Structure 1
Amino acid sequence: MKKAALLVEDDEAIAKVIVTALENDGFEVARCDSVAGRDSLLAQRHFDVMLTDVLLTDGDGIETLGRVQNACPDMPIIILSAQNTLDTAVRATGTGAFEYFPKPFDLDELVRTARQAAGSGRRGGIDQGDAAEGLPLIGRSPPMQEVYRMITRVLNNDLSVLILGESGTGKELVAEAIHQLGHRKAGPFIAVNTAAIPRELIESELFGHEKGAFTGAVTRSIGKFEQASGGTLFLDEIGDMPAEAQTRLLRALQSGQIRRVGGREEIAVDVRIIAATNRDLAPMIAEGSFREDLFYRLNVVPLRLPPLRERPGDVGALAQHFLRQAVAEGLPSRAFTDEAIDILAQQTWRGNVRELKNLVFRAALLAREEEIDGYAISSLLETNAPAQGGGIADFDSALRAWLAAERPAEGDLYHAALAAFERPLFALALRRTGGNQLRAARLLGINRNTLRKRLSDLDIEPERFSAAD
């Protein structure tokens, strides 16, 4: 017997494509374009699955789903939407929908999901009603839609999430979104940059220590695991964690218990772990610098953040958001011309969203006119990297400008500044040596292996620097 599907879609072209695809898959399909039409059809007959758009001719498809679910509590619902924001994704899954598809979607995947939903006999989905407004995750591009869908899948469970992405892509923002929209939102969100903690202090920072555990431990200290109890612990730059700390972290994840440094008591902890890294952990596992068993503990749900160059269509919205943010923080009111936005969208943004934010703040500060035009943006892009020469005064100015734009957290200044200024320094050395790594290492006064490792960490390709440069 054929499965019956109800399609609620007011776009004639999209509706025709979906109806044809569902009918070819063996469905019997009824279609309407409004909330009233939907309610009328549901009152007349049974449907095995309903697919509905959000914005309909006479109302909001999500806001009016309550009465549908009361009348048909076991009917799976698939939500389609062109309003491709995290807020829409969370609203959609918050209704208990079986699945959410942002437009444009993969038609084959939609049909497979409809078939699965029709045979499930359950609504499924996530019982989550909070909105995502106010979270600065911006973008309507297909790569960001997949990020939003992954976020909604992990909100109401405690599965470990490993966020993968280049520096500056917004990994901590995603971790915060998972926490703030999830069932642990009433608990604390504790973020730890494991790369910024000295090796000898990282275990104390994570697990705490007892009085007298080591020189300088004059009082008992509560670690991040205990501080995050009932909430979420975000471990940033997990790939830089020392081996001995990896072992203790693995034990804590396996047992759900920690022991303070210098202590004997096992302390139960209730935390959700979200980790992040900008490094490729596979070669680190192969060479033994990262534990394979810890990787599998953390990588239950991998979530990849796309670099900005893979979503140029989002650059304009991000730039406008950062410009509003700059004004809110006291900088002069400015506006981008269309030409300026076009130029921004054409850049590669090796520093990703963080680099774009810094440039927008700098533009808001330095622009001489209320409108920031293409010429102003081009001029700023030419000086986007710290100056190659000019002595201590220029370097000091660059450092001050970076501090004003970046505002690194207390305790993170040294490592953040080092990471920001290493890239142009290594680029300069490679440019002066025509891309020759051995000569560049000699110029810098460091070991060649150290140079190769840092170039890999910073994603700098030596072959880009020719002798002609």
Structure 2
Amino acid sequence: MNAASKKILIADDDSSIRLVLSQAFTRLGYQVRATGNATTLLKWVSDGEGDLVVTDVVMPDENVFDVLPRIRKQRPKLPVIVMSAQNNLITAVNAAEVGAFEYVPKPFDLDDMTSAARRALSRPADSEASKAQARAVRDDRLPLIGRSAPMQEVYRTIARLVGADLTVLITGESGTGKELVARALHDMGRRRDGKFVVINLAATPRERVEAELFGKEDGDHGKLVEADGGTLFLDEIGDMPLDAQTRLLRVIDGSEPTVNPKTGRRPNMRIIAATNRDLRALIQQGLFREDLFFRLNVAPLRLPPLRDRVEDIPDLARAFLLRANREGLPAKTIDSGALERLKRHPWPGNVRELENLVRRICALYGEDLISARIIERELADQQPVVQGQEGPATLAQLVEQKLSTYFADQPDGIPPPGLYDRVLEEVERPLIQLTLAATRGNQVRAAEILGLNRNTLRKKIQDLGVEMSRGRR
């Protein structure tokens, strides 16, 4: 069937949109019929007209998300492209749930729209491969990808929280997408016109945390003031030093006056915190303030690890392939055997690890089709070194596994500068603290055990903020 024999039905209450799309599709040789209401669109579909529907979400008489199930029931093979000016996660997810071929946010690029129409009209009817490709194109535009039951629960929670201005605590392993959820809550919430300000407490040197948050004397007013009117995202809140926790709590409850010099008022922002650590365990260890935990845990949101939603892996992998290609890497497809192999991997680095694996394969392999053999080769050296091994894990293995997860959680797999000093600090602090506990606070004995000069140990205790055990100093 050539273009001239295919008809596109357009539904949008904006006459200018109808005109632009009608002219564009007509120039490409398609027949076009346009309407400004959902009732007429439904009549045309019921009469058997059209090979493709392009429709806005909000129509004068009905919401298209209520209409699409009826279209699919009458014409299950008829592809539908949904467009909307309500560019948020909920709109995109709703489009996916009702079976739209693709979701296109307004304002749209005309080339993107005509390209989507060509794909919809040229796809083999009921081809599983074409359905998967259509999902991948749609999913690549979403901040969160997945149709599994655990992810549906995440979507429902996000939908409940976007209309409120509550403090949110997002928990989940590294690489599960905590910052993506925080950004979605901001972009869809009341403060979408304000700034989304991020501070990663794990990547910020401990001695600079307070200055980054609360400002410095040189005129830098800090992240709290910067986020005024918007959202402050405290990533890896479990790594915040105790002194900074105390000060943050005072700012939240108003006992420490913090003023935005531009407005003369206290900063007003939504706080979203995230952590991959068990804050309740840190509270028991005296490393996290319980009162701050209750201030942050107003609306908890847990993200599932990838191993708990393996049915999402094919959609994720295909979307990442498209994303990699859009960013300049070679175009590739993936076969069913490779997808099954991906499902069997434990994914300690979660979604971030999967995306980095896809990027690496696109960059390093010349094959257009990713097979199970390629996946097996790439995963061969990445199996868990602790679980299932004979005998206890060595310290080097535990550190390597932790660092692998950390690398996988970073954009493009690249951590921010200063990694060496941060890692040494993370190792030094518990080493010194445990040694001091073993010696009951005797610094002379602890320095001897550690092989350090006593003055060096004293300086490290001060610089690292090591909690001193009670006993002889």
TM-score of the pair, normalised by structure 1: 0.57
- Residues in 1 aligned to 2:311 and 2:238: alpha-carbon distance in whole angstroms: 31
Structure 1 residue matching 2:162: 3-state secondary structure:
coil
Which of 29, 50, 57 is the aligned partner of 1:63?
Answer: 57
State the match for 1:284 in structure 2.
Answer: 282
Contact 2:140–2:322 (CA under 8 A) maintained in structure 1: no
Letter in 1 for 2:152: Q
Deviation at 1:373, TM superposition (A): 0.6
Is 1:182 the equivalent of 2:192?
no
CA distance in 1 between counterparts of 2:176 and 2:53 reads: 36
Q: 296-305 vs 134-143, which deviates more?
A: 134-143
Task: Tell me if the contact between 1:256 and 1:269 (Cα under 8 Å) persists in the aligned partners.
Answer: no
Q: Which residue of 1 aligns with 2:373?
A: 375
Name the counterpart of 1:238: 237
Check 1:60–1:282 CA distance in 2 against 1; reply closer, same or farther (3 A cut): farther
- The number of equivalent residue pairs is 317
* 1:185-239 deviations in Å (ceiling 9; x for gaps): 11111111112222221111101011xxxxxxxx221200111111111001111
Aligned partner of 2:319 in structure 1 is 321
Shift of 1:158: 1.4
Q: CA 1:256/1:93 → structure 2, altered by over 3 Å: closer, same or farther?
A: farther
1:368, distance to aligned residue in structure 2 (A): 3.0
Instruction: Provide the secondary structure at the position in 2 that maps to 1:162.
Output: strand
Q: Is the 8 A contact 1:172 1:236 kept in 2?
A: yes
Q: Does 1:301 align with 2:299?
A: yes
Q: Aligned partners of 1:363 and 1:171: how far apart in 2?
A: 25
Alpha-carbon distance in 1 for matches of 2:344, 2:209: 41
Matched letter for residue 144 of structure 2? L
Give, in whole Å, the separation in 2 of the partners of 1:376 and 1:418. 38
| Cα distance in 2, alignment partners of residues 285 and 345 from structure 1 | 36
Q: Does 1:202 align with 2:201?
A: no
1:41-440 to 2 correspondences below 5 Å:
63=57, 67=61, 90-91=90-91, 134-210=141-217, 219-255=218-254, 258-259=257-258, 268-384=266-382, 405-409=412-416, 415=422
Structure 2 CA distance, aligned partners of 1:417 and 1:312? 35
Q: Which ranges of structure 1 fall in alignment gaps of 5 or more residues?
A: 1-34, 40-57, 70-76, 95-99, 104-130, 211-218, 388-394, 422-444, 447-469
Q: Secondary structure at the match of 1:174?
A: helix
C-alpha contact 2:140 2:323 (8 A) present in aligned 1: no
Q: Check whether the contact 1:362–1:405 (CA below 8 A) recurs between aligned residues.
A: no
Secondary structure of 2:359 counterpart:
helix
> Hey, what's the Cα distance between the residues in 2 that align with 1:338 and 1:318?
14
Check conservation: 1:169, 1:307, Cα contact below 8 A.
yes
1:452-467 equivalences under 5 Å are: none
Q: Which amino acid aligns with 1:241?
A: M
Q: 1:239 to 1:404 in 2, by over 3 A?
A: closer
The CA distance in 1 between the partners of 2:69 and 2:420, in whole Å, is 44
Per the alignment, in what secondary structure is the counterpart of residue 285 of structure 1? helix
Match of 1:27 in 2: none
Q: Which amino acid in 2 is paired with 1:145? A: Q
- TM-aligned CA distance change 1:320 to 1:341, over 3 Å: same
Aligned match of 1:214: none
What SS class does the counterpart of residue 233 from structure 1 fall into? strand
Query: Deviations along 1:109-158, whole A, 9 cap, x unmatched?
Result: xxxxxxxxxxxxxxxxxxxxxx9983431001111111111111111321
1:61, distance to aligned residue in structure 2 (A): 11
Aligned 8 A contact 1:87 1:132 in 2: no
For 1:340, the aligned partner's letter is A
The amino acid that maps onto 1:292 is: E
Structure 2: how far apart are the matches of 1:101 and 1:282?
37
Looking at structure 2, the residues matched to 223 and 280 of structure 1 have their Cα atoms a distance apart, in angstroms, of 27
Give every structure 1 segment of 4 or more consecutive aligned residues whose post-TM-superposition deviation is greater than 6 Å.
58-62, 79-83, 86-89, 100-103, 401-404, 416-419
Change (3 A) 1:418 1:320: farther
Note if contact 2:88-2:184 (Cα within 8 Å) is conserved in structure 1: no
- Take 1:404 and 1:293, find their aligned partners in 2: how far apart are those partners? 32
- Distance change (3 Å), C-alpha of 1:136 and 1:220: same
SS in 2 for 1:302: strand
Does the 8 A contact of 1:275 with 1:298 survive in 2? yes
Equivalent-residue separation in structure 2 for 1:89 and 1:283 (angstroms): 33
Q: CA deviation at 1:384?
A: 2.9
Q: 1:199 corresponds to which letter in structure 2? A: R
- Quote the Cα distance in structure 2 between the aligned partners of 1:257 and 1:177: 30
- Name the stretch that deviates more: 297-306 or 280-289: 280-289
List per-residue Cα deviations over 1:414-433 (Å, max 9, x = no partner). Answer: 648999x9xxxxxxxxxxxx
The 1:358/1:304 distance shift into structure 2, 3 A limit, reads same
Distance 1:66 1:347, change over 3 A: farther
- In percent, how many aligned pairs have the same letter? 44
